[in-house]
Amino acid sequence: EAGVAQSPRYKIIEKRQSVAFWCNPISGHATLYWYQQILGQGPKLLIQFQNNGVVDDSQLPKDRFSAERLKGVDSTLKIQPAKLEDSAVYLCASSTGTGKGYGYTFGSGTRLTVV
């Protein structure tokens, strides 16, 4: 089974620029999550999708972050404009939504550096 795919792997941008990350979850996984992981900390949930609908975006800084999940499959997370404190690894995870015993599958993440 193919894992969760994310791209790009690394991205360096200047502050105030915009950036977008892409995630392709495991086929058939209804639930998709975006996490932000700052160096030395645990991942922080930004947004959760169930199919193409948003379940929870309470931690998403909506003035600069946006996310969508087209047709309930791929998802894109965008930051515009970026700030220095947005430097982090952005992780995408997916699950069946009834993943008892199997947990969630994470991608390798996109490492964003804002300079």
**Binding site residues, another protein, CB under 8 A:** 4, 30-31, 33, 35, 41-45, 48, 50, 55-56, 91, 93, 97-109, 111
Q: Of 81 and 96, which has the nearer Cβ to another protein?
A: 96
Q: Of 30 and 81, which has the nearer Cβ to another protein?
A: 30
DSSP code, position 68: E
| CA distance linking residue 69 with residue 23, whole number of Å | 9
Q: How far is the CB of 65 from another protein (least distance, A)?
A: 17
Q: What HEC string does 76-114 produce?
A: EEEECCCCHHHCEEEEEEEECCCCCCCCCEECCCEEEEE
Q: How far is the CB of 16 from another protein (least distance, A)?
A: 27
Q: How far is the CB of 45 from another protein (least distance, A)?
A: 6
Q: Of 19 and 33, which has the nearer Cβ to another protein?
A: 33
- Sort residue 23 into left (φ over 0), alpha (ψ -120 to 50) or beta: beta
Tokens of 98: 């009834």
Q: Of 109 and 114, which has the nearer Cβ to another protein?
A: 109
Q: How far is the CB of 58 from another protein (least distance, A)?
A: 10
- Backbone φ and ψ for 98, nearest 5 degrees, come out as -130, 55
